[in-house]
Amino acid sequence: MIALASDHVGIELKRSIMEYLDEKGYAYVDYGTYDTVRCNYPEYALKAANAVANQECDRGILCCGTGVGISIAANKVKGIRCVVCSDPYSALLSRQHNDSNMLAMGSRVVGKDLALMILECWLNGEYEGGRHAVRVREISQIETTGEIEGI
């Protein structure tokens, strides 16, 4: 299950993503916003990020104007590794190396076709573990204790 959220600026891109997910057969939950009335992206980032953090959803996709604000908000939730991407390579590597569990994109930054290409790379990317697991664990330690064990 994929958690989706956007603000009013990102809603059109989110709708394109929903169409793509429908076509490919992915199940998702939309945590809002549901219209183009001006709103505050942290409120929607929080709902989707909580759904991923508490494992109601496996991963999440967020859209705002730049992808920046909504990703910063999501990354405040413990256990979230949200990456804001405007290129497919970073999206793929964020899965393979960083085990990103949320993807954010900006509707004012990427067009629909590029966004869907980024999304495809991110959805198909597999976490490689190994040497990367050490680094992801260190990220978690910073989040939990503000320190890295042994450093």
Residue 91: both structure tokens together: 């999206």
Cβ–Cβ under 8 Å, residues 58 and 2: yes
Q: How far apart are CA 46 and CA 16, in angstroms?
A: 22
Nearer to ligand RB5, 18 or 68 (CB): 68
Say whether 132 is catalytic: no
When the beta carbons of 31 and 41 are compared against ligand RB5, the nearer one is 41
Residue 120: both structure tokens together: 């495809």
Does 41 engage in binding with ligand RB5 (CB under 6 A)?
A: yes
Distance CA 97, CA 129 (A): 7
18, 21, 29, 68: which one contacts ligand RB5 (CB under 6 A)?
68
Instruction: Choose, from 57, 63, 64, 85, the residue flagged as catalytic.
Output: 64
66 interacts with ligand RB5 by CB under 6 A: yes
61 phi and psi, to 5 degrees? -130, 130
Is residue 78 within 8 Å of 53, Cβ to Cβ?
yes
Q: Is residue 13 a contact residue for ligand RB5 (CB under 6 A)?
A: no
Give 60 or 65: the residue with its C-beta nearer to ligand RB5. Answer: 65
Residues labelled as active-site residues: 64, 97
Q: Give the binding site for ligand RB5 (CB under 6 A).
A: 7, 9, 41, 64-66, 68-69
